[in-house]
Amino acid sequence: MTGSFAVPKKLIVLTIVLPLAALIGYLLAEGDFESFAIVGLLSGILVIPLVLKWHHLLLVVSWNLSLTLFFLPGAPPLWMLLAMVSCGMIVLAKIMDRNTLLLNAPAVTWSLLAIAFVVVFTMTMTGTIGVRSLGGSSYGGKKYFSILFAVIAYFGLSMLRIPSQKSNFYVAAFLIPGMSPIASNIIYKLGPGLWFLFALFPVESVMLQVSDDFSMESFSRIGRIQGLAFASTALLSYLLARFGIRGIFDLRRPWRAFALLATLVAGLYGGFRSVLVLNGALIVLQFFLEGLHRTRLFPLLLIGSLGAMVCVIPFARQLPLSVQRTLSFLPIDISPAARLDALGSTDWRFRMWKVVWAEGPKYFWIGKGYTASASEYYLTQEAARRGMAEDFELSLIAGDYHNGLLSILIPFGIFGVIAFLAFLWAGYRVLLHNYRYGSDDVRIVNTFLLSSFIVRSIFFFAVFGGISGDILTLAGLVGFSLALNNGVHRPRVGV
């Protein structure tokens, strides 16, 4: 006898599974916050074995996934929790086995730690550590934690190697969840019966659609579907990373080119000029990095693109207003309503930047930080509503400057700018080395990662950016490259 005792499966079902299922059903029927919190806690306990085994893959999936944990203070996104779990698992594995090899790019590591130090230093010097969602007296501190957790998430993503035989699967797991913002638009359209799902999916992606539906002025109803814009960029990124430009236009697989075209068209319905610029820049840069400008494909695509523009121009006014707004930066004839809406957005930014630049010297050494008191938010909101304050004042208090450089300089001063530029340079060097010297098996992915990093870095400063959100995207590209390539590739000696 071994002394072991096998528990019958029926006994487990009767004593554990059925009572637990009954409890969860009862709590869901209650429908209050406490019940959902308990259900979330029980669900978390049940998935612990899966997290222990698949924590790195789960972090990869959650990186671009728009999903919030409503039962936790502040309703943080899922990736924050998984970043902590993954880093914890890595530290524990290293403690238990000192021979465990972890991937590292020292220059990137030190630059991100410098960013984290500047953030903590600013929080301390400005006295803006308190966060409303955690019981503090201030609003806006969530941006601090977004930056700090992005640094933690980078280490959780980059330190473990992705199996080479699963590279395509991990590419899909990393990029395709970026389409999730469209879920909010779908939930809204399906009606109030499903609106409880907004506890999981951020409502921000549907606010433009809501404002159009409840607008009293018909000419201001542009009909923008914000989720489609983000979903189009995510799907386009996957197509570029999985197949490359050469593979997309493979005549033996015409569905790929059709998917690319459909993705670009769908993105137009978001009404964002910046999304069209971003998607176009991604395609153009990857086209050149693949060396296709020296092939017959270059004149064919150039003629095809010009032909498509010629065909669209005569019918521009018949396009949906959201599409016309996206195309409003082009010299074509579109609806005055769409052009006025776009120009108003541009004017709003320039007026705000003029005010912010005047305050720049004041926060050159020590940044302003993010947080503000509840009374400041309330008084500014009421003043703007009564026409006693500019319409951008609330964005100034929240630190939403719609400009990459200002989003660093004003909150964190010149040292924040230096640390961020150091990170961009270090990340670029990592991606460039893996693009040049990486394995042929992941050559297309490395090409995409480099082109995406370059485009998004330029886009951050020249078009639209905010460090609290974009640092996760940029750090993710670098971290994924390290995990996929098993570190940083170097030139082969003697080759």
Within-domain flag for 239 = yes
Strands (E), 32-143: 138-139
Mean pLDDT, rounded, for 115-143: 73
Handedness of CA 262, 266, 268, 272 (dihedral sign): negative
Q: CA torsion angle for 420, 421, 424, 427 (degrees, to 10)? A: -90
**Cα atoms in the 13 Å half-sphere on the side-chain side of 480:** 32
Integer CA distances (angstroms), 445 to 129, 174, 244, 290, in order? 40, 12, 8, 11
Query: Looking at residue 157, what DSSP letter applies?
Result: H
Within-domain flag for 76 = no
DSSP lists the bridge partners of residue 139 as 372
pLDDT tens, residue by residue, 407-442:
999 999 999 999 999 999 999 999 999 999 988 899
d(CA 416, CA 115): 6
Among the residue ranges 1-15, 234-248, 441-455, the one predicted with the least confidence is: 1-15
Name the band, by pLDDT with cuts 50, 70 and 90, for residue 5. Answer: very low
DSSP 51-72: HHHHHHHHHHHHTT---B-TTS
Contacts of 472 (CB under 8 A, 6+ apart): 63, 79, 146, 150, 153
Task: Decide if 237 contacts 283 (C-beta within 8 A).
Answer: no
Task: Decide if 324 contacts 332 (C-beta within 8 A).
Answer: no
The model's pTM is 0.87
Query: Highest mean pLDDT range out of 23-32, 131-140, 285-294, 474-483?
Result: 474-483
Within-domain flag for 382 = yes
Retrieve residue 369's tokens: 């930080």
Name the band, by pLDDT with cuts 50, 70 and 90, for residue 3. Answer: very low
Within-domain flag for 164 = yes
Write down the residue that tokens 């500019």 correspond to: 390
Handedness of CA 12, 16, 22, 28 (dihedral sign): negative
d(CA 482, CA 488): 6
Mean pLDDT, rounded, for 91-112: 84
Structural domain boundaries, residue 424: 106-485
Among the residue ranges 50-54, 129-133, 149-153, 381-385, the one predicted with the least confidence is: 129-133
d(CA 286, CA 279): 11
Task: Decide if 400 contacts 348 (C-beta within 8 A).
Answer: no
Within-domain flag for 7 = no
**Mean pLDDT score of the chain:** 83
Number of separate domains in the chain: 1
User: Residue 69 has what pLDDT?
Assistant: 85
- Helix, strand, or coil here: 227? helix
Contacts of 454 (CB under 8 A, 6+ apart): 285, 428
Name the band, by pLDDT with cuts 50, 70 and 90, for residue 24. Answer: low
Q: CA torsion angle for 110, 111, 116, 118 (degrees, to 10)? A: 120
pLDDT tens, residue by residue, 255-307:
999 999 999 999 998 888 899 999 999 999 999 999 888 888 888 888 888 88
What percent of the chain stands above pLDDT 90?
37
Q: Which of 328, 325, 240 is nearest to 279 (CA)?
A: 240
Question: 395 or 253: which carries more pLDDT confidence?
Answer: 253
Within-domain flag for 85 = no
User: Residue 20 has what pLDDT?
Assistant: 63
Within-domain flag for 29 = no
Handedness of CA 162, 164, 170, 174 (dihedral sign): positive
Within-domain flag for 429 = yes
Task: Decide if 119 contacts 475 (C-beta within 8 A).
Answer: no
d(CA 65, CA 174): 9
What is the chain's Cα-based Rg?
A: 25
Name the band, by pLDDT with cuts 50, 70 and 90, for residue 475. Answer: very high
Name the band, by pLDDT with cuts 50, 70 and 90, for residue 7. Answer: very low
